[in-house]
Amino acid sequence: MSRLPIIAGNWKMNNTIKETKELLTALIPLVKDAKCEVAVCVPYTSIAAAGDLLRGTNIKLGAENIHWADKGAFTGEISADMLKELNVEYVIVGHSERRQYFGETDETVNKRAKAALSKGIKPIICVGELLNERESGKTDEVVIRQTNGAFVGIDAAELKNIVIAYEPVWAIGTGKTATSEDADKTIAVIRNAVKELYGKGAADAMRIQYGGSMNAKNVAELMAMPNIDGGLIGGASLKAEDFKNVVLYR
């Protein structure tokens, strides 16, 4: 089964509008011949400016979070309609920083993913174990629980619009990467969880990224693994040249 890899930047809380314009102006020509799908998930305040610059390019526009309600008394939150109006195509849900610092749970991840799908926005659903979970041999149990939780009530017809990102939390922003074998093995566990839920065809078709200190040096080795279908890139997405070197890994 050949799956088109997707490499997405996660800018986190970085880049003003001015910096967004500078970064994307430099990036667009550098990645125009990419052989994979490319996306940048940017802070809410940068979405409109990024959308203007990315129109007509091969870089897809993404956001970093979404609320599940259509509208209402949710101060500080952003709805699917608001993102849709800005032509957002992808949205990260359940990033470990949201789980750790903002009380995100498997249930809210599921609600956010469903809200995105209901408006035609593709969720990048993040799963991954904490260091102590890895050290106590719970990695598989954690990613299976998170995967099962994220997909509750999601129709099989929607699966083509979902990307999963396996991000071991201890590897995010730390410079530590899972070995390509470990990453591949855990992604196979996640793929098997999708198989248990939706069957082999769906599991084989599901794109599952690796994320966690992925950069120009380790991208080729990680991408050579059979289960790894791209990357969610934090630090190495913040400079055009660095991100280009990840995107053009082959």
Sites of contact with ligand PEP (CB under 6 A): 10, 12, 167, 172-173, 211-214, 232-236
What are the E-state strand segments in 167-217? 207-211
Q: Which of 42, 66, 69, 67 is nearest to 53 (CA)?
A: 42
* 15 versus 213: smaller Cβ distance to ligand PEP: 213
Closest distance to ligand PEP from the beta carbon of 7 (Å): 11
Task: Say whether 107 is catalytic.
Answer: no
Closest distance to ligand PEP from the beta carbon of 126 (Å): 7
* 1 versus 15: smaller Cβ distance to ligand PEP: 15
Q: Which of 240, 242, 248, 181 is nearest to 213 (CA)?
A: 242
* 108 versus 213: smaller Cβ distance to ligand PEP: 213
Task: Say whether 67 is catalytic.
Answer: no
Q: Are residues 53 and 25 in contact, defined by beta-carbon separation less than 8 angstroms?
A: yes
Three-class SS of residue 184? Answer: helix
Closest distance to ligand PEP from the beta carbon of 242 (Å): 10
Cα 61 to Cα 51, 86, 89: the distances in Å are 6, 9, 6
Q: Which of 213, 232, 223 is nearest to 250 (CA)?
A: 223
Residue that has been written with the tokens 């990357």 in this structure: 231
Q: Which of 95, 97, 104, 129 is labelled catalytic?
A: 95
* 10 versus 15: smaller Cβ distance to ligand PEP: 10
* 202 versus 216: smaller Cβ distance to ligand PEP: 216
H-run or E-run covering 231: strand 230-233
H-run or E-run covering 126: strand 122-127
Which residue number is nearest to ligand PEP in terms of Cβ?
234
DSSP state of 129: -
Q: Which of 37, 129, 133, 167 is labelled catalytic?
A: 167
Q: Which residues contact 171 (CB under 8 A, 6 or more apart)?
A: 177, 178, 211, 212, 213
Percentages helix, strand, coil for the chain (3-state, rounded to 5) are: 45, 15, 40
Closest distance to ligand PEP from the beta carbon of 121 (Å): 18
Number of residues written out for the chain: 250
Closest distance to ligand PEP from the beta carbon of 237 (Å): 7
Catalytic residue ranges: 95, 167
